[in-house]
Each structure stands twice: as C-alpha cells, then as structure tokens.
Amino acid sequence: MRELKELEDDCRAIGRTIQGGLPETVGFVLFLFDFGEGGHMTWISNANRDDMMLALREFMSKEGH
C-alpha cells in the first residue's frame, strides 16, 4: 500500500491538470483512495470546502445515485 503523502502528491498533480483544462467558472473535486481495509483517501478541489460539500450533497440526493 502506498503512503498517504504519495497519494496526496498524485492528487495535487492530477488536480493541476484538471484545473488547467477547465474554464474558471467550472468547479471540480477529485477523490483518490486505496482499495481494501486500512487504505488512505485524499481529495482536492478548486472550490471552497462549503461549496464543494454542498455540491456533493446535491449529487448524492439525486435520484439514481
């Protein structure tokens, strides 16, 4: 299993790539995690935490998700 810092570094690198391809008016959140018990999880977003949490709640409340 990878160290959390490695996962966080990968998340930041992928996040920079995603951000570079999006207009300033589009938000994103990216989750990376290890499979299995005892794994790590990390995330990155270009939105502030409150806006990101609201978007996730709205996504989860949609029928079929």
* 13 within 8 A of 32, measured Cβ to Cβ: no
Average pLDDT of the chain is 91
pLDDT tens by residue, 33-56: 999 888 899 999 999 999 999 999
The predicted model gives 8-14 an average pLDDT of 96
pTM across the whole model: 0.79
Question: Where are the domains positioned within the chain?
Answer: 4-61
Report the distance separating Cα 42 and Cα 52, nearest Å. Answer: 14
